[in-house]
Amino acid sequence: MQAKHPKESRTTLTDLVLPSETNPLNNLFGGELLARMDRAASIAARRHSRRIVVTASVNHVAFNKAVPLGSVVTVEAAVSRAFKSSMEIFIDVWVEDRESGNRSKANEAIYTFVAVDETGAPVAVPPLAPETELEKERYQAALRRKQLSLVLAGKMKPNEATELKALFEV
Ligand SMILES: CC(C)(COP(=O)(O)OP(=O)(O)OC[C@H]1O[C@@H](n2cnc3c(N)ncnc32)[C@H](O)[C@@H]1OP(=O)(O)O)[C@@H](O)C(=O)NCCC(=O)NCCS
């Protein structure tokens, strides 16, 4: 299968924060942001694989900045690495300043999607060829994150996680 570039899967969703999507502090409810990120990541995974895709795991979410009611929020997702049937998707969340229009990074997350056939069985996806420095950085670190996710899910023994050895060696 021919390799694809991250830009081929890049997906941008821009939407407002409405009153029904906020918490008691009038900031965006975390579950709503998770859903928006899942939607963008799912489209990115589908664009990369051109298959049915399912969320396998949410590996990392950082709610670093509250997002106030009325904000314009942009969720940007792209495949950061493809393995056999699974794809790591990196998601950046931006909030737009009403007056200046400048964007600032509010949150980020990393999801794993798996491409499946009509019966739900995993199928192969094209490899990823990163181009920019940031894409290369994210690509390099993705195997370590995959192994950590599998260890935490009880699907890989810690001693099989080749990329994590250095983490545990003092
Ligand atoms: C995701 C799913 C297809 C994986 O099926 P499985 O039987 O574990 O299949 P495999 O063990 O062959 O794993 C398939 C791939 O997923 C990866 N994977 C599975 N669990 C993972 C996890 N927790 N973290 C990271 N990767 C994971 C495997 O490493 C493998 O990757 P690779 O093929 O690129 O090497 C299956 O668990 C599933 O259908 N889950 C439900 C998905 C769903 O409904 N999501 C919506 C949630 S509401």
* Separation of CA 100 and ligand 1 centre (Å): 43
* Separation of CA 115 and ligand 1 centre (Å): 9
pLDDT recorded at residue 169: 67
* Ordered per-residue pLDDT tens for the chain, 170 residues: 999 999 999 999 999 999 999 999 999 999 999 999 999 999 999 999 999 999 999 999 989 899 999 999 999 999 999 999 999 999 999 999 888 999 999 999 999 999 999 999 999 999 999 999 999 999 999 999 999 999 999 999 988 999 888 776 65
Token couple for 116: 């499946």
For residue 152, the ligand 1 atom closest to its alpha carbon is 23
For residue 121, the ligand 1 atom closest to its alpha carbon is 3
CA angle 82, 146, 161 (to 5 degrees): 125
Residue 135's SS3 state is helix
Structural domains in the chain plus CATH codes: 6-130 (3.10.129.10)
For residue 149, the ligand 1 atom closest to its alpha carbon is 24
- Which protein residue's CA is at the shortest distance from atom 31 of ligand 1? 86
